[in-house]
Amino acid sequence: MNEKVKVPLNCLFQGCYNPVFEEEISKCKDKCYQYNQLNPNDRETQRNLLAQILGEMGENVIFTPPFWCDYGYNISVGNDFYSNHNLIITDGAKVSFGNNVFIGPNCCFTTAEHAIDPEQRKAGMEIAKPITIGNNVWIGAGSTILAGVTIGDHSVIGAGSVVTKPIASNVVAVGVPCRVMRQITEEDKNRYPVYKGD
């Protein structure tokens, strides 16, 4: 197996206009394109291609097409993972998902930040910071998770949130920027009636 290109972490580097990184991204885009052309119900072929794209992948992993990422091999996914349509992961740094993670449609996880200084930004300088998502996390539709964020186990991120800072375990958080609204409690088991069948 070829040695993977390593993006420098937590410091400015020449990310844009860099042929080494552009070549790696181009290879990954080709695989994502192939993945997105598959029959969405062809789970076996999807899994085989995901194994070529992702760095690590557990059991029962579903990425509903379309799905796009930059490198792929920086993404680690646990067991029983489900993402709805149109997940985007810019994975210059490591992006780790625990077990039993649900992701709504139209979500973005981006490890990249561009330079604030306009001259550095124009020159293509950027920074990459890892993202870590714990076990049993649900991320609502249209949410954006920014570079350097950690979301703790069992937490829920409300739809449309922009997560700019770490979120603790066992909480409901929502908003722009995303803020903790409350703890998850035993009462949440009774929030909705449970259908018992006929």
Question: What's the pLDDT score for residue 195?
Answer: 87
* Domain-embedded: residue 195: no
Per-residue pLDDT of 89-134, as tens digits, reads: 999 999 999 999 999 999 999 999 999 999 999 999 999 999 999 9
* Domain-embedded: residue 193: no
Question: What's the pLDDT score for residue 173?
Answer: 98
Known catalytic residues?
114
* Domain-embedded: residue 160: yes
Q: How far apart are CA 1 and CA 62, in angstroms?
A: 25
Q: Are 167 and 173 in contact (CB under 8 A)?
A: yes
H helices of the chain, in order, are: 19-37, 43-53, 118-122
Angle at 52 (CA atoms; ends 50, 58), nearest 5 degrees: 50
Q: How far apart are CA 187 and CA 181, in angstroms?
A: 15
> What CATH number did the domain enclosing 80 receive?
2.160.10.10
Per the structure, the complete domain to which residue 53 belongs is given by: 13-182
108 bridge partner residues: 88, 144
* Domain-embedded: residue 103: yes
Question: What's the pLDDT score for residue 2?
Answer: 54
Q: Structure pTM?
A: 0.93
68 bridge partner residues: 88
Is residue 77 pLDDT above 80, yes or no? yes
**Strand duo 112-114 + 125-128: pairing:** antiparallel
Average confidence score pLDDT of the chain: 94
Q: Are 142 and 121 in contact (CB under 8 A)?
A: no
Question: What's the pLDDT score for residue 61?
Answer: 97
Q: How far apart are CA 60 and CA 163, in angstroms?
A: 27
65 burial level (CB within 10 Å; 0-12, 13-18, 19+): middle
Per-residue pLDDT of 56-69, as tens digits, reads: 999 999 999 999 99
* Domain-embedded: residue 119: yes
User: How far apart, in Å, are the Cα atoms of 140 and each of 130, 135, 161?
Assistant: 20, 15, 8
**Overall domain count for the chain:** 1
* Domain-embedded: residue 187: no
* Domain-embedded: residue 192: no
Q: Which of the four pLDDT bands, split at 50, 70 and 90, describes residue 1? A: very low
**Residue 179, token pair as written in the block:** 């803020």
Is residue 26 pLDDT above 90, yes or no? yes
